[in-house]
Amino acid sequence: MSLIDLKDLSAAEMEKWAVKNGMEAYRGRQIRHWILTRFVESFDEMGNLPKTLRSLLKERARLCALRELKTIRSEDGTRKYLYQLQDGHSIETVLIPERDHLTLCVSSQVGCAMGCIFCATGKQGFIRNLKPGEIIEQVIRTKQSLEFPDRLKNIVLMGMGEPLANYDAVIKALRNIIDPDGMNFSHRKVTLSTCGLVPEIKKLANDVTVNLAVSLNGADNEIRSRLMPINRKYPLEALIEACRSFPLPNRRMITFEYILIKNENDRDRDAHNLCRLLSGLRAKINLIQLNVEPESPLSPPSMEQVLHFQKILTDRHFTAIIRKSKGRDILAACGQLRGTSGSEFS
């Protein structure tokens, strides 16, 4: 009999599994509490369960844990964790310090199939999807490493992989992260970033309430298709229509991430096209200077040009924020994750 990883189960599935294995449904809720709230690493730690029940759990279930291979710290306080999965593959998770809280950037796949030309993860190709428990484990293990774990307030699915390409596992993980009887993070503090999988964007709001961020990076189809091959399948017209129909709670906006690349998408006409594209949307634009990749022919624009690009947007009354990329010196910034023990971990 193969052992089930209980971290992969939703609340309903946990109760159903408990009943199927001869327990009362409330035992499933107790087990879930130990896993997602108390972060136990073995069934023996589940003190309110009878020994006979703990023995049964050992026979029929498991609690798979990530192995922390290495952690490195940036000059700005950012931490990058290299975690090894049960099958030997590795992923990276990034902890970002903010003024009064911490943000955790979580991976959803090993590698990525999207092939965006500015992204190191995409260059390694797609290996496999993460399971729900492997997504949750990044939060659990990182939180356990903190001196003040309650400072971790924000979760962003912006690490390795395209979250919406691993839809079912990501939705289940998100529910476990935000459910009051799960990890109890506020849904206002959880953000999913996508490169633009239109059918899944349309489904997302019906399945879970989180913030939506769209990696845009181009305001016309020619440029965006060159930078992001997914645009050939889901062009801007379809993507923006999905964004316009995405239900937003009061005062929320969709965040559009725009990585500025010199002579590719940073000209005045690109800024004006971006204004036209997002006109009428409840949108916030995050402007990010390209984080340089070794051996990449791409380069970032000057800060002067970034400020000029921002001014065009703000003059048109858009909320446009220049995001300072943290962790560049340890290859932990946007587009730099590889999931390997490279030179930055040595």
Catalytically active residues are 92, 334
- Taking the C-alpha atoms of residue 168 and residue 154, their distance in angstroms, rounded to an integer, is 21
- Taking the C-alpha atoms of residue 212 and residue 254, their distance in angstroms, rounded to an integer, is 6
User: What single-letter DSSP state applies at residue 68?
Assistant: E
Q: Where are the beta strands (DSSP E) in 139-197?
A: 152-157, 190-194
User: What single-letter DSSP state applies at residue 136?
Assistant: H
Task: Give the list of residues 6+ apart from residue 251 with CB closer than 8 angstroms, or none.
Answer: none
224: region left, alpha or beta (phi > 0 left; psi from -120 to 50 alpha) = alpha
153: region left, alpha or beta (phi > 0 left; psi from -120 to 50 alpha) = alpha
Please state, as a whole number, how many other Cβ atoms lie within 10 Å of the Cβ of residue 124: 16
